[in-house]
Structure formats: structure tokens, C-alpha cells
Chain A
Amino acid sequence: SQQGEEDPQALSIQEGENATMNCSYKTSINNLQWYRQNSGRGLVHLILIRSNEREKHSGRLRVTLDTSKKSSSLLITASRAADTASYFCATGLNNDMRFGAGTRLTVKP
């Protein structure tokens, strides 16, 4: 399906460490987006990478996209306790966008 699947489901790290989350999908896409969701809140857009791009950076975030492997990764460097949240990838095709089940990241102070 077009819907992304995140891996791992949960990740626990110490403050200052890097966190890597992966997203796999099965069909062609136009773009892939990453979102963050704090408990009980709405999703916040982090970064969008188009199918013809391989890597994008935004502050401490680095996203890669490998369309041949149908996968993407989100790297958060020098993590902080405030990065504790759920992270979702969303695959976009034409006017359709679908979310995965997310990775729950816990950053321990």
C-alpha cells in the first residue's frame, strides 16, 4: 500500500544522543513528509522531501529518501528531552496523503 510503516515502533535514548527512525512504503510516491505529535496534540509538520530529492536538512533534522528501496529515514541529532514525541511519516501521491503508525521516541534527561 502507499501508506508508510515506521520502524522501530518505540525508541528510547539519552539526551544528547542521535535518534534514527525509518519509514518504508510499497508504491510510488510524489513526496514524503515527516510529522511530530506531542501527546494529546495535533501533528506538526517537520520536513517534506520530494521524490526527486535524496536528502534534506532542517536544523537538527536530516531526512533521506531512497526511492529504489522505497524507504526514508529521519535523523534527529543531539536529542533533547523536548524531542520526546511520536514521529510519523506520510507518503504523498497526487492529492492523496497517508500516514504510518508512527515511532514513539522517548529522550531521557
Chain B
Amino acid sequence: DAGVTQSPTHLIKTRGQQVTLRCSPKSGHDTVSWYQQALGQGPQFIFQYYEEEERQRGNFPDRFSGHQFPNYSSELNVNALLLGDSALYLCASSLGPSSNQPQHFGDGTRLSIL
């Protein structure tokens, strides 16, 4: 039973560039949430996708966008990268969008902005 997989594991970009991160949810899960985790901090909620639509959004600018595909996998896109976007980006999947469900996390994509 495959868990949540994220790619790539590491990525180095420069300011102003654009990046796409990918996530495949745990088998049987239909909801994907994305988090940004700065070093030494807790995960900050970016947004959640369910039924191919953005259902919830945290306090992140429009430079952060996403997509969910019919097979429930998801992408996170960040445009016009800033130094402050350097972080670990975590994807989590669950069965349904309710916060009453435990979330299963991937090991993240470490994004470094130079």
C-alpha cells in the first residue's frame, strides 16, 4: 500500500523563477493538502484540494497555486520565487476534506532559493 509520494525531494531555484512540486496521495485518499514548513517551525497550511477544486486556502499570496487531477494527484506551483519561499513543502492526503480525518504526509520537497 503506497503512502504519499512527493517529487522532487530537493530542488534549487533562483529568485524570480517558477517551480512545480508534485504529490501522489495515499491509495484510497481523495483529498490533498499542501503545507509550507520553514526551518524550526510548524507546517503552515497553503491550500487543500478535493474533487479537483481548491476548498480551503491559508494566508498565502496568489503566487501559490495548485491543481488536482482526476486520479487525485496534485501539483503545487509557485511563481516569482522569493528568498523567503525556501522551505520544506509537505503534501498530505486524507479521505475527504474534513479536519476530522487524520492526514498522511509525504516526506516533502526541500526547496532552496538562491
Of the candidates A45, A48, A93, A99, which one forms a contact with B42 in the assembled complex, judged by CB atoms under 8 Å apart? A99
Q: Interface residue count for B (Cβ, 8 Å)?
A: 24
- Contact of B98 with A94 in the complex, beta carbons under 8 Å: yes
Residues of B within 8 A of A43 (CB): 43, 90, 92, 103, 105
Establish whether residues A99 and B105, one from each chain, have CB atoms under 8 Å apart when the complex forms. no
Inside 8 A of A48's CB, which chain B residues have their CB? Answer: 100, 102
Interface pair A95/B55, CB less than 8 Å apart: yes
Q: Which of B33, B45, B48, B106 has the most CB of A within 10 A?
A: B45
- Interface size on A, as a range, is 20 to 34
Q: Could you show 22 A-B contacts with beta carbons less than 8 Å apart?
A: A30-B100, A31-B99, A31-B100, A33-B103, A35-B105, A42-B4, A42-B92, A42-B105, A42-B107, A42-B108, A88-B42, A88-B43, A95-B55, A96-B99, A97-B99, A97-B103, A98-B45, A99-B42, A99-B44, A100-B42, A101-B42, A102-B41
